Structure 1
């Protein structure tokens, strides 16, 4: 893969990152293909119910992580001799919270479902299975340990082995024409397989989870540091998932399924900005310390690069959305094309948001980062309340686009970050790119 020469962009770093994360990208592509296969089999209604259940479980899971992952990495690096205490305390905290959240999430669904839902498809068992997968996510603490040792490749290998096995199981369920509940149960199997795989590689490192210990003082210390991240995680998940839940409530399962089919394709390339930003940001941070003007120039170049990639893709997909949906899903998901043609433009602001998010972290503006996520979530909910009853999934697509735009450019509100918002606007309207064209 040859990358064009772009000012401020390091092709070698980019290619190295892609080489190191090739399996990760393979996993994302495989997940998309299997997801499309399942959607075509289930049809809009059942796929909508499955999407609602997984969205509901994702919001619960955002609380269950307790925001501990990044702090566990830092704690293990700071106190390697206390590894078993740190990992053990974090594990038991997450497991205890998950044991409370699983039944709580089922009860929340039972008491919040509408009369129509009570008379129609009962999602209680589906929700139970999707939420139960949260129990196994407690073992993701092992992933944090390997990240602290800069050995994440072992975790990625386990994840992809599990993904391949999971894909085989789900495709088998499709071939056997099993009902929806089996695909929800498959999520429990996914969690169990990954937990077993993580334990295996941890023991292969001549370490044992039986040595993990729980310390109250450590638990208090971790919680005191991580609670803002819990709020941020919940806001991010609400931001990403609330539209599906609201579609189910206002427009029904079929509309939620049609929208989910479009959103799945639209969001399938969101790993690209993460890859780019991860590859180039170390050089940008270095410039911040040594050459501030160059730092600002490299940030502008990064925004330009993300626009160069995202706008043409959004334009092509938007124009050919109906044809694309027909080729991928057939005739079952009528109406998904117009949703995709609007939703795909949200990717532009996801790209810019990935870069500006790293800028906020580098500058220590963590609360501004939280505020803009919260603003995006609130705008998304309010617009969904207005637009979904009127336009269904199309309204949800419009709400998502406006919310992503608002959150991305929320930094214009603050004097400290306004210049970055202006840089992104210059890239969005191609002003900075035009200024780079050589004049004769």
Structure 2
């Protein structure tokens, strides 16, 4: 793939993500205002479980499918049909297990209906995702971007219809299922027209092979999905749906904001793979540049959430939220660390060290479980946020420690000392009635360290070298002139 094609595809992906996230922002705000805190808490609980269910039903098959189709475009229909059959079978089994688990645990009927509808919609999304893999493999990025925009727009339009009909909790939940069906229909139509015929066939041998290849990545993805949603699940279980709604809506808004930055960085992943195959030196240089860029991109989102927390919550709910500053700050910083770990995960996979990444995921999840039950029962949303950030800080340190043996990505001394101080200060929670000192350590010290470190390290000359390697000499010449002026 040429440098110009990568840049074109990256622009399409980022533009589509911006439009899609804009619709999702509007959707979250309208949904929370219309549903109210209690009903939104039930929806948030189902969405959090749904993300975990989505990981199980997806099983990491799409990553291997993308590689297989890219190398053998003439066998696209064969790979696609067998993968669709495997996904449908996995989805049916997963939905059955969800129903049996919910019924056996004595879950209230209204919560169980919401959970089943959202689970069905997420499982449908996995099938749509498989179809979109075929579009990406055939370099149909314009069509894939159209589908991505349709995802956000369809949910927003369906929500407006539900509000006009005053359909209640069941109608609000049905939006997710209807939107997923629309996306599936659009994906099928585009793939049939632009790529290959669409059919599903169950091949036991193929399914066993794909699931065997994906098992290590499934462990990592499942652990990460549980970590990302454990705070909401514990809040709903131990403290009720009202607090879940107050905590979850702002955090999901921030999460969408952070993922806008994520797509800007993830669009460079094709460079990572290409440079790894071409030159280890270039790969290490680009990896270091990427780790620096992530810090600079995320700092504005983190600082905005810390400074304008009261206005954010008032804008969403039209009311005040006690502890909003602490909660939003912790969630923002935790999600920042989460994406940094996702980036590390790609480096592990490229280097064929996915099994190490899976082990680190499981270890960090165990820590979050141990802290979560204790802190959520004491402090509610605040405790959920603290357990969230503590486990992710440990996760990031472990990921970095294992990478230091082969990648030249070193944390600054200031940042490393800050993260170490955070972990040392955590046991003080047991003895302290006031959490202010620990919260300052959790949020402000690492944030300051990242800001100072991030602003010092972006090197325009490194960017120019990357562009030279892609034969984009005009752009690299401009960046070198800019570097001379600065």
Q: Same fold (TM over 0.5)?
A: yes
Cα gap change, 1:129/1:290 in structure 2, threshold over 3 Å: closer, same or farther? closer
Matched, 1:31 2:14: no
1:244·1:256 contact (CA, 8 Å) conserved in 2? yes
Cα displacement (A) at 1:191: 1.4
- Of 183, 205, 208, the residue aligned with 1:220 is 208
TM-score by length of 2: 0.78
Q: C-alpha deviations, 1:272-302, integer Å up to 9, x for none?
A: 4433433445555666566655654443333
Matched, 1:393 2:381: yes
Q: C-alpha deviations, 1:41-91, integer Å up to 9, x for none?
A: 111111000011121122112111122111112222344443333222211
| 1:428 alignment partner in structure 2 | 450
| 1:323 alignment partner in structure 2 | 311
2:54·2:123 contact (CA, 8 Å) conserved in 1? no
Structure 1 stretch displaced more, 387-396 or 132-141:
132-141
* Distance of 2:407 and 2:451 partners within structure 1: 15
1:64·1:101 contact (CA, 8 Å) conserved in 2? yes
- Of 148, 169, 184, the residue aligned with 2:158 is 169
Structure 1 stretch displaced more, 426-435 or 14-23:
426-435
- Of 142, 150, 157, the residue aligned with 2:146 is 157
**What RMSD, in angstroms, separates the aligned Cα atoms of the two structures?**
3.1
* Distance of 2:113 and 2:6 partners within structure 1: 47
| 2:66 alignment partner in structure 1 | 73
1:89·1:215 contact (CA, 8 Å) conserved in 2? yes
- Of 117, 121, 143, the residue aligned with 1:129 is 117
Cα gap change, 1:375/1:429 in structure 2, threshold over 3 Å: closer, same or farther? farther
SS at match of 2:104: helix
| 2:330 alignment partner in structure 1 | 342
Q: For 1:187-336, list aligned pairs within 5 A.
A: 187-205=176-194, 207-210=196-199, 212-283=200-271, 295-331=283-319, 333-336=321-324
Cα gap change, 1:131/1:325 in structure 2, threshold over 3 Å: closer, same or farther? same
* Distance of 2:334 and 2:404 partners within structure 1: 25
Matched, 1:353 2:341: yes
Which has the higher relative contact order, 1 or 2, with Cα contacts under 8 A spaced 6 or more apart?
Answer: 1
SS at match of 1:267: helix
* Distance of 2:274 and 2:16 partners within structure 1: 29
Q: For 1:87-166, list aligned pairs within 5 A.
A: 87-113=80-106, 118=108, 122-137=110-125, 138-166=127-155
* Distance of 1:417 and 1:411 partners within structure 2: 11
Structure 1 stretch displaced more, 231-240 or 384-393:
231-240
1:14·1:276 contact (CA, 8 Å) conserved in 2? no
Q: Which structure 2 segments of 5+ residues have no match?
A: 417-448, 460-482
* Distance of 2:365 and 2:177 partners within structure 1: 28
SS at match of 1:399: helix
How many residue pairs get aligned? The number is: 423
| 2:53 alignment partner in structure 1 | 60
Cα gap change, 1:341/1:284 in structure 2, threshold over 3 Å: closer, same or farther? same
Q: C-alpha deviations, 1:331-388, integer Å up to 9, x for none?
A: 1655444311221122432343243333323322212222232233222222211110
Q: C-alpha deviations, 1:309-351, integer Å up to 9, x for none?
A: 3234323321321232113321165544431122112243234
TM-score by length of 1: 0.85
Cα gap change, 1:273/1:418 in structure 2, threshold over 3 Å: closer, same or farther? farther
Q: Which structure 1 segments of 5+ residues have no match?
A: 1-9
Cα gap change, 1:134/1:304 in structure 2, threshold over 3 Å: closer, same or farther? closer
Q: C-alpha deviations, 1:159-181, integer Å up to 9, x for none?
A: 42353233111122124332111
